Amino acid sequence: MSMASTRWDEGLQTRRGFLSFPAYIPVTTFGQRYPLDEIIRPYLSRFAKAWMVSHYYMQFMPEGTHIPLPLLVDSGGFASLFEDARILKRNGLGVIERQLDEDVQRVAPNEVLARQEEIADIAFTLDFPVPPKMTKKEAHRRLELTIANAHWALAHRRSKEMKLYACVQAWDRESAQTCANAYAGYAFDGIAIGGLVPRSRDVDLIEQIVTTVRECVPDKPIHVFGLGRPRLVTSLFEWGVQSVDSSAYVKMAADGRLWSDPARRFDSISPTERLHLALCNLATACQTTLPLSFAEGLFQTPSLDRLRQQEDVSLDEDV
């Protein structure tokens, strides 16, 4: 396919290569908080089309880290949900401040954009999640600041190679419409919808929000943050979403679980066995198959050997 003739809903050309849609994008982290991520990361390129890293965890990325796939970097706006965080309005924009001992940690649109332009192929504007039980007054304040930050980033980005997605925060059809309409007609490269994870059990609401955004912005890719259950991902793609990201594949593995059999839990398994579980989960999410070498290794581990009769894993030599 010629890149010049590619439609917006077929993929995006980035600095690190072409990201084809639809795409399930695994989240990875840097630092010591989630050690399983360090073990899994070298294998991601065999399954996934891109990586997602939070702006927060970017600070722990070792210098010279090889990034073989398109890299998506979010804004780290989830930090606004921490108990010690405050969302402040400064010069018409939203910033996050956290008091950490004697220091104040600050997340601001200019700092986020500068870091994203250094390394990201696709970046997301600084947004502020709206938890389900938040007051309407505070919800609307966060919505207003989320929109302001998006337009500021669009006006001040210097790297035209980096794709910029405007973030939507919504809790119902009306708020989704308000936010999406604020971006319609502007030169954003895509739209991202956040804040859906705590509402993930209400599938009807998620459909309302997603389809409303699609109606308001019919000509740009839509990305959804944090929803990774395979069945829900399939529905999201049917509703007009082009890409999703999630860390659920590795969280389930850390808990000793497989997506194909979530009720079963394997206890006292080794890091290597958790790696195998994570790769099985990722293959399921990406709708691909395990390479022969991985599948053989999976069934050679004692704790997981009994899955041989229960798992329908295709043993392909290549992904």
User: Strand pairing of 11-14 and 243-246?
Assistant: unpaired
The reported pLDDT for the residue numbered 295 is 58
Taking the C-alpha atoms of residue 46 and residue 40, their distance in angstroms, rounded to an integer, is: 11
Which segment, 95-109, 162-176, 258-272, is predicted with the most confidence on average? 162-176
Does the predicted model carry a pTM greater than 0.85?
A: yes
pLDDT at 297 over 70: no
The reported pLDDT for the residue numbered 26 is 95
What three-state secondary structure class fits 285?
helix
What's the mean per-residue pLDDT of the chain? 88
Distances (CA, A) of 168 to 89, 110, 145, 239: 18, 19, 11, 16
Helices (H), the chain: 35-40, 55-58, 109-119, 136-156, 173-181, 203-216, 230-238, 248-254, 271-285, 292-300
Which segment, 2-11, 260-269, 276-285, 286-295, is predicted with the most confidence on average? 276-285
The reported pLDDT for the residue numbered 269 is 84
The reported pLDDT for the residue numbered 100 is 78
Q: Can you list the domains of the chain with their CATH numbers?
A: 3-246 (3.20.20.105), 264-319 (no CATH)
